[in-house]
Amino acid sequence: MELIKNISTAEQPYLFTRHVHFLNFSRFGGDQPVYINIIRDPVNRFLSNYFFRRFGDWRGEQNHMIRTPSMRQEERYLDINVCILENYPECSNPRLFYIIPYFCGQHPRCREPGEWALERAKLNVNENFLLVGILEELEDVLLLLERFLPHYFKDVLSIYKNPEHRKLGNLTVTVKKTVPSPEAIQILYQRMRYEYEFYYYVKEQFHLLKRKFGLKSHIRKPRPTPEFFIPSPLETEEPIDDEEEDDEKWLEDIYKR
């Protein structure tokens, strides 16, 4: 209730960005906010988190020590393949069941890997989110955000492509990141099967939304990667302004929910 009150009474325009499990404001008498989100390939997300906790990024050589000061040296330099193949807790559930709970919501069963949490997460994506994009197609996400919420995201793609922003973004790349063996990756993939079912569902819905608004993307020639990894980010052509009345009606319906 305190979170709902703080968000609902904030001066507009207001953008709240945190790791928060989905909360239905209307159940507690509040006005439902406009929910947006971006997810990424589950294995890529896990690997980034694994190495970031240990070694941080280029913003500072010691920031990983600040984040995980109690981590022992043998744990910090634990080979990712050993962690996965020997079933260390960090490389098995529940750490691998990560994305779905945020979309599933506040129910205790949302923390349990399974069909119930998966289906509830899908339902919330359909009924309560204006947009859920995927990080591997970030430029498309930004174009749609500018289209749907121009008051917040005007010129966002130009800002994103600005050299100064690129320079800042490069500093957040995780250091000392390595790719596990194919065997280890396959094990991760199997352990994250619910996460991948959700990820591919969101990706399919996102592509349907792109087509609805006339975004046509073509894939650059990808670098060699494990077969289930997402290819390189897409290049996006400018949106095609057709069926504009239907598009605007669709947005109005979303805001009425």
Length of the chain (residues): 257
Catalytic residue among 19, 21, 64, 218: 19
3-state helix, strand, coil in the chain (%, to 5): 55, 5, 35
Q: How far apart are CA 170 and CA 150, in angstroms?
A: 26
Task: Report how far apart, in Å, the C-alpha atoms of 76 and of each of 64, 175, 192, 193, 209 are.
Answer: 10, 13, 23, 27, 42
Which of 122, 116, 124 has its CA nearest to residue 202?
Answer: 122
Q: How far apart are CA 120 and CA 123, in angstroms?
A: 5
Given its phi and psi angles, is residue 33 left (phi above 0), alpha (psi -120 to 50 degrees) or beta?
Answer: beta
**Token pair for 225:** 């990667």
Q: How far apart are CA 7 and CA 33, in angstroms?
A: 9
Query: Is-catalytic flag, 19?
Result: yes
Residues contacting residue 42 through CB under 8 Å, at least 6 positions apart: 96, 98, 99, 192, 195, 196, 199
Q: Which residues are catalytic?
A: 19
